[in-house]
Amino acid sequence: MGSRQHRRPLSGGSGVNGSAGSGGYSTGSVASRDGTVIGYRHVGQGPGIIAVHGGMQAAQNLMKLAHALADSFTVHLPDRRGGGLSGPPGSHYSLATEREDLSALAQATGAHNIFGLSPGAIIALQAPLVLPAIRKPPSTSLPSARDCSKSPGTRPNLPGAQ
């Protein structure tokens, strides 16, 4: 089954970790391969990025992050199966169905970038291996324990830090 897209603008709304901000957000939905509706929120303008929430959460948990990125990116926040705007997990729920959901969303929105939090990070790291439309998530560079212990009371030398 192909994906279909529906967008409905909302005037505001609020997330669990912050408000939707003055720009609000819109919602949409796509049909995954098995026909399950995958609902999502989106905000911003620019290249698309899909932000996948963690377990026991929903898309609104990442709204504060989405609004922080909204000047540079169009952030798509899908509700994973079983929560929010999306349908139930179904009897054949697996990492493969999570990939199919992301594939439908990427096709409908044109987004190629992905970010994930907690279990969403597992999906975000695995998706580019089998979905050509999704790019590998950016790697992070964290300071080592040795860097943090060199000068107590000072900040470690992080890339891009001033």
Confirm whether 161 is domain-assigned.
no
Confirm whether 1 is domain-assigned.
no
- Rounded Cα–Cα distance for residues 45 and 149 (Å): 40
Confirm whether 159 is domain-assigned.
no
Contact assessment for residue 66 and residue 75, using Cβ atoms and an 8 Å cutoff = yes
- Rounded Cα–Cα distance for residues 43 and 27 (Å): 9
Provide the pLDDT confidence category of residue 145 given band limits of 50, 70 and 90.
low
Query: SS3 for 33?
Result: coil
Confirm whether 65 is domain-assigned.
yes
Tokens representing 47 are 């290249």
Segment 41-60 mean pLDDT: 95
Confirm whether 156 is domain-assigned.
no
Model confidence pLDDT, tens digit, residues 89-137: 999 999 999 999 999 999 999 999 999 998 998 999 889 999 988 987 7
Overall number of domains in the chain: 1
pLDDT on residue 23: 52
Q: Is the pTM value of this prediction over 0.75?
A: no
Kindly report the CATH number assigned to the domain that includes residue 89. 3.40.50.1820
Q: What's the whole-number average pLDDT of the chain?
A: 79
Confirm whether 155 is domain-assigned.
no
Domain, as residue range, for 17: 6-149
Confirm whether 105 is domain-assigned.
yes
- Rounded Cα–Cα distance for residues 105 and 50 (Å): 8
- Rounded Cα–Cα distance for residues 93 and 100 (Å): 11
Confirm whether 154 is domain-assigned.
no
